[in-house]
Chains A and B, each alone.
Chain A
Amino acid sequence: MRALTWQGPNKLQVETVDDPSILNPRDAIVRVLLSSVCGSDLHLLGGYVPTMQAGDIIGHEFMGEVVETGSAINQFKKGDRVVTVSIIGCGHCEHCQRSDFSCCDNSNPNPTATEIAYGQPACGIIGYSHAFGGFAGSHATYIRVPFADVNLFTVPEGVSDEQAVFVSDAVPTGYFAADNADIQPGDTVAVWGCGGVGLMAMTSAYLLGAERVIAIDRFADRLRLAEEKAGAIVINYETTDVHAALLELTGGRGPDRCIDCVGMEAHGTELDYFYDKTKQMMRLHTERGTVLRQSIRACRKGGTVSVVGVYGGLLDKFPMGAIVNKALTLRSGQQPGQRYVKRLFEHIQKGELDPSYLLTHPMGLEQSAEGYGLFKDKRENCLRAVFRPE
């Protein structure tokens, strides 16, 4: 089969690789119909996530049709249209049984790296480095999905492929961010980052009862989408003092809930950004914490900061004093999408949520390296390049 492989920092190549096969009773093989780029892939692409190896197939946000199932899978049959949650859960460990699928104990066959880094091993993630399991990714003709009975979901009638593909990652990540923020009626929610996840977090915040959403980014096209598609008040951080604007918009209180949808490669205009960038280039720390600092500083006393932007390692100048002295709640995690998929499909069917506008650049798999170039450089207003393997 054909697949997009990582060959080194900022080097991608489409090549012919072995087809996957059923290895365990709970596996399924899915023929990929649509597979999307994701902002978190840029961390892999840039070499910021260690444990990538040349030849690794990337991609984790996809939908397709079932072509084969293991002996223990009886709820799916060949030809079923399905979406897969990119964060793998086993369904049976203590965490999965609490619906904390992203804390799964059993889905990562390479637990050592994350155990050393984090104290306990992280879950497996499709196509997201050997530290997170070393699973082959979805930018390929076929993919093996482990624990298919837990991680595969049938796409219902009335939901298009272009909507379903984002229920794999962008939509549940945004929804999880809003859910984690513990939004109360009347709340003002500030969301940093107007990429796919950020836009979904904004819509989700309204679905969960927010009165107002404020979006922060620097790209005019994305801010326009936040305004038009997600109904947000927008702030361009290159032209506006974000902290002052947030206080101004909330009567001096600060946003009740702050959501970081940016992560370790945050940009900024203040001194701390250049400090972070320098240390990151010198490999003295792994994260650029501009957004995290800004959101913690802006959040109202007693508020919640919800983090779904990807952070991988160590961050300098973390404002712990603000968290303690403003009694903030900091919540985070990889998305446990299995918890939300059915609810999200219902929102889509009712017309309350339509993620299909994220798909700005449909392409063939052979053009996928070029698609990542567009996405990374934000050329041609690229929000998401989505590949259709031939």
Chain B
Amino acid sequence: MTERPQLVASRAALPTPSRPNLGTPERAVSLLAGTLLIVNGLRQGGLKGWSQALVGACAAWRGYSGTCRIKSALAHTPFEQAFEQDRGWDGSKVISRSITVNKPREEVFAFCRNPADLGALVPWIDAIEQTGERTYRWIATGPRDKILYCELEQCDARDGRKLHWIAAPQTRFKHDIQMLFSDAPAGRGTQIKVIVACHTSFGAAGYALAAAISKFSDKALLNLLRSIKQQLETGEVTTNRMRAQGAKDFLFVHPAANAPQDSTTTPATGGIA
């Protein structure tokens, strides 16, 4: 029997009146506030009053039905909850993408385990430095030419099956990146599944910010996976440019030179997830 894949990107269940996602106190406050806004709005009249009444009606409905889509959107997915429990994080945003590469698993794994191979395919990465036996510094140029970096440590790799990186201990925002490799059915090559998790702070606001950033990260992750597929299957990454101007000059430093820190260097605050 094949291993059942984890569905990382699944949403939390949508609330319905028969399955409310608000507790009794939340419902009572919403109903009361809504009623007050309706009464006050109707008493005031005019555009302002009617707007107030409309907001009040929404709040009253929220209390009456016991359902709130905003709260639902900010609820952590079952996978995120399990992930947080496993890592002891108080919050996380997790994204996942999969792709099938028409090459044997050993070849795909060998390509992906070399950071130089991956870095060359990420347009926004300028360089990767090896800073230790299993630690790498990913360097990118941020807004206003600020140099951003993210230290990642390779850990818990299973040969041919799994690559795993975690953010170095001093990094402000924790990341956990797993790349899982499995054989596609009927000799169709190798399935790569990437799970990127970012530790979120500041409760619901932090989660909402991470969720917004993850829309872009998700796209970047998909682009990276497609580039890996193209490079491995065709030996090149497809382009529609007419000429080579503006081509990226990627640098991989191995091993890391103990170069002095640039004064403009700041730790990456966004991250991948």
Contact = CB atoms under 8 A, between A and B. Distances in A.
B189 A20 contact: no
A23 B234 CA distance: 14
Interface stretch (B20-28, B40-48, B85-93, B237-245): B237-245
A147 B234 contact: yes
Interface stretch (A131-139, A308-316, A363-371): A131-139
A340 to B, nearest CB: 22
B159 interface: no
A126 to B, nearest CB: 10
A106 B229 contact: yes
Interface string B217-243: 001000000100110011111111111
Interface residues of B, number: 20
A238 interface: no
Interface in A105-156: 105-112, 124, 130, 133-136, 144, 146-147
B224 to A, nearest CB: 13
A92 interface: yes
Contacts of A21: 242-244
Interface string B77-120: 00000000000000000000000101000000000000000000
Given A26-B234, A90-B233, A134 B242 contact: no
B242 A94 contact: no
B257 to A, nearest CB: 31
Contacts of B241: 23
A26 B235 contact: yes
A91 interface: yes
B235 A72 contact: yes
A124 B234 CA distance: 14
A319 interface: no
B242 A20 contact: yes
How big is the A interface, by class? 20 to 34
A94 B102 CA distance: 6
Given A21-B244, A97-B102, A91 B239 contact: no
Contacts of B239: 23-24, 109, 146
Nearest to A135: B240
Given A21-B242, A105-B229, A144-B242, A94 B188 contact: yes
Instruction: Label chain B's interface by main secondary structure.
Output: loop
Contacts of A90: 230, 233-234, 238
A94 B236 contact: no
Contact of A18 (B234, B235, B243): B243
Contacts of B236: 24-26
Given A93-B102, A94-B100, A97-B102, A109 B240 contact: yes
Given A111-B226, A147-B234, 11 more contacts: A20-B242, A20-B243, A23-B239, A23-B241, A24-B236, A24-B238, A24-B239, A25-B235, A94-B189, A106-B234, A146-B239
Query: Which 3 residue pairs of A and B lie closest in terms of their CB atoms, listed nearest first?
Result: A134-B240, A24-B236, A92-B233
Interface of B: 100, 102, 188-189, 219, 226, 229-230, 233-244
Interface of A: 17-21, 23-26, 72, 90-94, 97, 105-112, 124, 130, 133-136, 144, 146-147
22 contacts: A18-B242, A18-B243, A23-B239, A24-B239, A25-B236, A26-B235, A26-B236, A91-B234, A92-B233, A93-B102, A93-B229, A94-B188, A105-B233, A106-B229, A109-B237, A109-B239, A109-B240, A110-B240, A124-B238, A124-B240, A133-B240, A147-B234
